Amino acid sequence: MKKIVIAIDGFSSCGKSTMAKELAKKIGYIYIDSGAMYRAVTLFALENNIIADNGNIDVEKLKSMMKDINIEFRLNPETHLPETWLNNKNVEKEIRNMRVSNNVSKISAIPFVRHKMVELQQKLGEKKGIVMDGRDIGTTVFPDAELKIFVTASPEVRAQRRVDEMHSKGEDVSFEEVLENVKSRDHIDQTREESPLKKADDALELDNSHLTIEEQDKWLEKHFNDIINS
């Protein structure tokens, strides 16, 4: 059967990764969370005092240390899902905390960070058979992807989903705090100079504010089958 590249882009916390993971599992493709890579760089920057307490970034120090950042995805033998490893350490959980979330947009707006991540992402997709989610996958990483999806949902719906997710993991956050983070990330993601978040002209748009997970999975699978059978 022919293998394709599937690019799923959209705003933060809009359920991209849920649908991307589910589809990848169903069709036997590799799933890559490109946001996890920017989060891993941010964690590295926090751990190496590249980001000051006031949020200022020592860009020159980060540039000189980029060669010391090794990001990999390794399959968890139990869940069969890829997990993010930074310099031989599993950081899958740590990269989702609030400190990383509050700093990741600024780190991911730095051109040399993006260039290194895009190069890595393109390598991962060389053999096709991949579902990758992010912000610029359909526009910059894989402009020739056979299936491109652009997912949206209102900021309030997305903030609530993230609050539920964090509460279920025992993290204590307020709706207001998360909504603020979602809105500020939307703004930075859409207005940055280097590959800003925007829908590719040939992407299919999905507003999932009022869809169940099952409904959105069905929608995506139908579009995948349409391409495979065409």
Residues of this chain that interact with ligand DC (CB under 6 A) are 12, 34-35, 38-39, 104-105, 108, 134-137, 185, 189
d(CA 209, CA 151): 10
Between 12 and 216, CB nearer to ligand DC: 12
Select 134 or 155, whichever has its Cβ closest to ligand DC. 134
Q: How far is the CB of 56 from ligand DC (least distance, A)?
A: 18
User: End-to-end distance of the chain based on CA atoms, in angstroms?
Assistant: 12
Minimum CB distance to ligand DC, residue 224 (Å): 20
Please say which residue, 107 or 220, places its beta carbon nearer to ligand DC: 107
Least Å distance between CB 61 and ligand DC?
20
Q: Which is nearer to ligand DC, 12 or 208 (CB)?
A: 12
Give φ, ψ of 73 to 5 degrees: -115, 125
Contact in structure between 74 and 88 (CB atoms under 8 Å): no
- Minimum distance from residue 178 beta carbon to ligand DC (Å): 12
CA distances from residue 30 to 8, 150, 184 in whole angstroms, order as listed: 13, 19, 31
CA distances from 55 to 20, 101, 102, 105 (A): 32, 12, 9, 11
